[in-house]
Amino acid sequence: MSDAPRRLGILLSGRGSNFLAIHHAIAEGRLPNVEIALVLANVAAASGLEAAIQLGLPTALQVSKGTPREDHDAAMIALLREAKVDWVVLAGYMRVLTPAFISAFPNRIVNIHPSLLPAFPGLHAQRQALDYGAKVAGCTVHLVDEAVDHGTIVLQRAVPVLDTDDEATLSARILAEEHLAYPQALARLTSGRYTIRGRQFRQA
């Protein structure tokens, strides 16, 4: 593998706190030999996009609303290819990807989800955990395959669910772990020093 920095294409739809955690990790040297090649939003009002512009990072906006899913994803693929990204990093990107998108970047799309998968996939994972009565919650960084919130697990971090929790307090406790988990997982992936057998991710 060449020593050129690994180029991340970050996809987001909203706040972008995971994107900012990744940006800080790169700035602090916790994510070596990695650079952000593009921050790509599908929602014009996404505050993560504004934050990326303020930081002077390369950005693009491809509004998804009103566009057929296949056409939108084709436009996203073109932007990511133009930016020569090595890894597609979903950071609060709240749209299901088409099979065409997933096969355009095989085993190179990463997602973070606010539950300990396979528990509580889909929307409102933190509320699902509370409603179910789970005593432990957390977050999962995983590779993306064609099933929602399903691909190979790279890393998980757990937090307790407290009797006093509501959705906001539990989400905040999980989010703090997300901000640690995503840079750690990306460091493992971009190092290239790992193997995947079946569903099992191992650091080499």
Q: Which residues are catalytic?
A: 113
Closest among 29, 95, 92, 19 to 58, alpha carbons compared:
19
Nearest residue to ligand GAR, using CB?
Answer: 92
Give the interface segment with ligand GAR, choosing from 14-22, 30-38, 66-74, 158-166 (CB under 6 A).
14-22
CB of 113 to ligand GAR, least distance (A): 5
CA atoms within 13 A on the CB side of 13: 8
Which pair of structure tokens corresponds to residue 61?
């906006």
Give yes or no for residue 16 binding ligand GAR (CB under 6 A).
yes
CA atoms within 13 A on the CB side of 82: 12
136 neighbors 161 (Cβ within 8 angstroms): yes
Closest among 110, 164, 170, 109 to 136, alpha carbons compared:
170
| Contact residue for ligand GAR among 72, 98, 114, 201 (CB under 6 A) | 114
CB of 2 to ligand GAR, least distance (A): 30
Give yes or no for residue 112 binding ligand GAR (CB under 6 A).
yes
| Contact residue for ligand GAR among 23, 72, 113, 142 (CB under 6 A) | 113
Give the interface segment with ligand GAR, choosing from 13-21, 75-83, 101-109, 155-163 (CB under 6 A).
13-21
Give whichever of 34 and 125 is closer to ligand GAR, judged by the CB atom. Answer: 125
125 neighbors 113 (Cβ within 8 angstroms): yes
